[in-house]
Amino acid sequence: MVAIAITRSIAIDSDEIVETYTRASGPGGQHVNTTDSAVLLRFDVANSPGLPDAVKNRLVDLAGSRMTREGVLILRSEGARSQLLNRQDVRDRLIALIREATIVPKKRRPTKPTKASQKRRVEGKVKRASVKQGRGKVRVE
């Protein structure tokens, strides 16, 4: 039962992470066909006591298709030939994802267009309207 530090105030218990090992595709030659070097990490975000609710909600949004309906985050790593390297890679990606979820996005302050930009817009519209009007039939009086 080792705590994994995410930030100064947030830590998750290593028992909350379930890792399974499978055969990987990719580099490794014949070695890849005989060893379980790919790592599939499952982390139950919905039932994790170490994460605040706000972080859980942002994590669900960030995870996208990597999150199941039950609230379990699934990450997979099979890039390295070594199970140990894949395990470290997938844990690092989990920590990075949770850290990203701890950052509160800034509120957008709505801005108004400047007087000059409004004037330029209207002048452009008037000019365009006169060009289009010039394409009509010519009236002879």
Contact 82, 37 (CB under 8 A): yes
Q: Where are the domains of the chain?
A: 3-102
What are residue 41's DSSP bridge partners? 19, 75
Pick the CATH number of 3-102 from 3.20.20.105, 3.30.160.20, 3.40.50.10490, 1.20.120.1750: 3.30.160.20
> Which DSSP string do the residues of 47-98 spell out, in sequence order?
T-TTS-HHHHHHHHHHHGGGB-TTSEEEEEE-SSSSHHHHHHHHHHHHHHHH
pLDDT per residue, tens digit, the chain (141 aa), is: 688 888 888 888 888 999 999 888 766 677 777 788 899 999 999 898 888 999 999 999 999 999 999 989 999 998 888 889 999 999 999 999 999 999 998 999 999 999 999 999 999 999 999 999 889 887 787
* CA 74 – CA 22 distance, rounded (Å): 14
What pLDDT score was predicted for residue 27? 67
Q: What is the pTM of this model?
A: 0.72
Task: Please give the backbone phi and psi of residue 46, each rounded to the nearest 5 degrees, phi first.
Answer: -60, -35
